[in-house]
Amino acid sequence: MSGKEPGIVRLGLILAAFASTACIMLAFVYAGTKDIIDENQQKELEKALEEFFPGAGPSREITGIQSPDSSVTIEKQYEVFQGEKTAGVALQVSRGSYGGPIKMLVGVGADNTIVGVKILEHKDTPGLGANAASPSYTGQFTGKRVDAPFELGADVEAITAATITSRAVADTVKAAGRAAAVYLGGRR
């Protein structure tokens, strides 16, 4: 063993101690902020539901809605009420996109029209695919019937140089709309 090896081992142990300390500190920060993050996400959901269903009453989390598209995952589902009647359904959905999964909230009214789309999370390219989160883009879905084709270039405008993201959003809204329509059809 040369004279340099004990120094390398010592540096390796110091680095391991720093890395372990950083991991422990990160775990404490996460534990301390998790409740705040969850609370903020709940407020954001309530705000989106109010935007989708103005004047509607309470909502409740439900289960049982299945995605008609295997590439679209329904993560959470909510039924929104207007008095005693169902005003519609909001689905938190995700699907693969250009930079990774794109998570959205899609609202569908009891009349089977899209009442709102909100991008909750994405990792697409800033300035290109990230433009899908802008209300000017997501707003084009509002008012569409769930049986619309949702095809780029036909009834959905694509984002320039972001075809993969545009298709992911359109396909996700289409799947969410059709899944919600099945649920709402059973509520009549």
Q: Is the pLDDT of residue 187 over 70?
A: no
Task: Calculate what percentage of the chain has a pLDDT beyond 70.
Answer: 97
Strand ranges in 29-181 using DSSP code E only, listed in sequence order: 59-61, 73-82, 85-97, 100-109, 114-121
Q: What is the dihedral of CA 37, 42, 48, 52, to 10 degrees?
A: 160
Question: What residue spans define the domains of the chain?
Answer: 1-52, 55-186
pLDDT in tens, 148-167: 999 999 999 998 888 999 99
* Average pLDDT of the residues of the chain: 91
Residue 43 has pLDDT above 80, yes or no: yes
Provide the 8-state DSSP code for 159.
P
Given a contact cutoff of 8 angstroms between Cβ atoms, the answer to whether 82 and 57 are in contact is yes
State the pLDDT confidence band at 2, using cuts at 50, 70 and 90: low
pLDDT tens, residue by residue, 110-142 = 999 999 999 999 988 887 778 899 998 999 999
Predicted pLDDT of residue 188 = 58
**Phi first, then psi: what are they for 136, rounded to 5°?**
-65, -30
AA letter at 133: A
- Specify whether the backbone of 125 is left (phi greater than 0), alpha (psi in -120 to 50) or beta: beta
